[in-house]
C-alpha cells in the first residue's frame, strides 16, 4: 500500500483564504483590521523562523502585524511590561510569545500576563479550561486544532475511531486529547495518550486507527508500529544534521516517513503537513479575537 498524502499546505491555504475574506469583511463593516503581535525573546534559530513566518502570513492576510524582538538577556519585568503594552493596545487583538523563552523567563507568569481575550495560542489556563469543557467562546490551541481540522477537511472521520497520541505536552498531546474526545463534529473519538513511561508503546500504536506522533523524537515511529491502512499524523519538526544539505541540517518529523507511508492509508508529510495548519489556525484565532473585541 502507498499512503495518501494529507496535504496540510493546500488545506491551510484554503483556510487562509477564508480568513482573508473574514478580515476584509471586518474592515468593510467595522473599519477594523485584525492585529496580531508576535513576541520573540532571544535567538533560538527555529523560533526566529517560526516568528518570521507568522508575522509574514499575518501581513499577507491583511492583518496589522507586529513583531516584538527582545534580547536574550531580557528580564522578566521587561517582557511583562511589553505584554502589558500589547494588552492595552487597541490595534492588537492577538498576542503570542514564542516558546521556549530563555531560562531566566518564567513562562507560566508570561502566559498568565496575557489578556485571555487576546490569547490566540490558547495557553492561558482560562482558555485551556474552556477548551476542556467544550466551550467555543475561548480559543483552541493552534497545532492540535490544526490536526483536527486537517483530518476533518481531508474527509477522515475520527468519530468512534481509536486515536492514539504519542506525547503529552501542554502544547500538543494534552489538548489533542481534550479536542478529540469532545462530543462534537470532527471529534467523538476514543483517545489513548502514550508517553515516555508507557510500557509496550508499539503495541498501543498498532491498535490505532489514527496515530498522532507528537513527542519530538526524530523518525521514532516505524512501519511495524502502524496498523495497515491507518492514518498517521506527524506533528514533529526536528532538525537533524546533514552535511549534504545546504545549511547543514534537514527537517524530519517524528515518523520514519518512507517506511510508514508504505503501510499507512494516509500520512502527513514534514514539511507541508501540520506546520502550515498551525499557522492557519493562529490566523483564524486572531480573526476571531478581533471580531469579539470589536463587537
Ligand atoms: N513553540 C512551539 N509551538 C508553539 C506555539 O504553538 N506557540 C508558541 N507561542 N510557541 C510555540
Query: Which of 177, 38, 182, 57 has its CA nearest to residue 120?
Result: 38
Q: Which of 52, 171, 172, 274 should be mutated for ligand 1, with most atoms under 8 A from CB?
A: 171
Distance between CA atoms of residues 270 and 255, nearest Å: 9
pLDDT of residue 1: 63
Ligand 1 atom having least distance to the Cα of 100: 1
Quick one: angle between helices 173-181 and 125-132, nearest 10? 30
Sign of the four-CA dihedral 12, 237, 180, 156: positive
Please give the DSSP secondary-structure letter assigned to residue 209.
S
C-alpha 180, offset from chain centre: 15
Distance between CA atoms of residues 281 and 164, nearest Å: 22
Name residues whose C-beta falls within 8 Å of residue 233's C-beta, 6 or more positions apart in sequence. Answer: 6, 147, 150, 151, 210, 211, 212, 213, 267, 268, 273, 274
Q: How far is the CA of 99 from the centre of ligand 1 (A)?
A: 5
Query: Same fold for the domain at 31-115 and the one at 142-275?
Result: yes
At 72 the three-state DSSP class reads coil
Quick one: angle between helices 45-60 and 8-30, nearest 10? 50
Answer whether CATH 3.50.50.60 is correct for domain 142-275: no
At 247 the three-state DSSP class reads coil
Decide if 131 contacts 123 (C-beta within 8 A).
Answer: no
Query: Which of 247, 289, 252 has its CA nearest to residue 268?
Result: 252
- Ordered by start, the domain boundaries in the chain are 31-115, 142-275
Distance between CA atoms of residues 285 and 295, nearest Å: 15
Ligand 1 atom having least distance to the Cα of 141: 6
pLDDT of residue 263: 98
Decide if 282 contacts 146 (C-beta within 8 A).
Answer: no
b/e for 60-69, b at 16 or more Cβ within 10 A? ebbbbbbbbe
Name residues whose C-beta falls within 8 Å of residue 118's C-beta, 6 or more positions apart in sequence. Answer: 86, 87, 92, 93, 94, 95, 289, 293
Topology of the domain comprising 31-115 = Rossmann fold (3.40.50)
Q: What tens-digit pLDDT sequence spans the chain (295 residues)? A: 699 999 999 999 999 999 999 999 999 999 999 999 999 999 999 999 999 999 999 999 999 999 999 999 999 999 999 999 999 999 999 999 999 999 999 999 999 999 999 999 999 999 999 999 999 999 999 999 999 999 999 999 999 999 999 999 999 999 999 999 999 999 999 999 999 999 999 999 999 999 999 999 999 999 999 999 999 999 999 999 999 999 999 999 999 999 999 999 999 999 999 999 999 999 999 999 999 999 9
Q: Identify whether 288 is a catalytic site residue.
A: no
pLDDT of residue 152: 98
pTM of this prediction?
Answer: 0.98
Distance between CA atoms of residues 191 and 166, nearest Å: 11
Which residue out of 115, 119, 121, 254 is catalytically annotated?
Answer: 121
Q: How far is the CA of 151 from the centre of ligand 1 (A)?
A: 21
Distance between CA atoms of residues 237 and 100, nearest Å: 15
Amino acid at each position: 500500500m502507498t499512503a495518501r498524502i494529507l496535504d496540510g499546505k493546500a488545506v491551510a491555504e484554503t483556510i487562509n483564504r477564508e480568513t482573508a475574506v473574514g478580515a476584509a469583511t471586518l474592515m468593510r463593516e467595522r473599519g477594523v483590521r485584525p492585529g496580531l503581535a508576535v513576541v520573540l525573546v532571544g535567538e533560538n534559530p527555529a523560533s526566529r523562523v517560526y516568528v518570521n513566518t507568522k508575522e509574514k502570513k499575518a501581513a499577507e492576510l491583511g492583518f496589522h502585524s507586529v513583531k516584538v524582538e527582545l534580547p536574550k538577556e531580557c528580564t522578566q519585568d521587561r517582557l511583562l511590561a511589553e505584554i502589558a503594552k500589547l494588552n492595552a493596545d487597541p490595534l492588537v487583538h492577538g498576542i503570542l510569545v514564542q516558546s521556549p523563552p530563555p531560562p531566566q523567563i518564567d513562562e507560566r507568569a508570561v502566559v498568565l500576563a496575557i489578556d485571555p481575550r487576546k490569547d490566540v495560542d490558547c495557553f492561558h489556563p482560562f482558555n485551556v479550561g474552556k477548551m476542556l469543557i467544550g466551550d467555543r467562546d475561548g480559543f483552541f490551541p493552534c497545532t492540535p486544532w490544526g490536526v483536527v481540522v486537517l483530518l476533518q477537511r481531508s474527509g477522515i472521520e475520527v468519530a468512534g475511531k481509536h486515536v492514539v497520541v504519542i506525547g503529552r505536552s501542554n502544547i500538543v498531546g494534552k489538548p489533542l486529547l481534550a479536542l478529540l474526545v469532545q462530543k462534537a463534529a470532527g471529534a467523538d473519538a476514543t483517545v489513548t495518550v502514550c508517553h515516555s513511561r508507557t510500557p509496550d508503546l508499539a503495541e498501543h500504536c498498532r491498535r490505532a486507527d489514527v496515530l498522532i506522533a507528537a513527542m519530538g523524537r526524530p523518525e521514532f515511529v516505524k512501519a511495524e508500529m502502524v496498523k495497515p491502512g491507518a492514518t498517521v499524523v506527524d506533528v514533529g519538526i526536528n532538525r537533524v544534521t546533514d552535511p549534504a544539505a545546504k545549511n547543514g541540517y534537514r527537517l524530519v518529523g517524528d515518523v520514519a516517513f518512507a517506511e510508514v507511508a508504505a503501510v499507512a492509508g494516509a500520512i502527513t508529510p514534514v514539511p507541508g503537513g501540520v506546520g502550515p495548519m498551525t499557522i492557519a489556525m493562529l490566523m483564524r484565532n486572531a480573526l476571531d479575537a478581533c471580531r469579539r473585541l470589536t463587537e
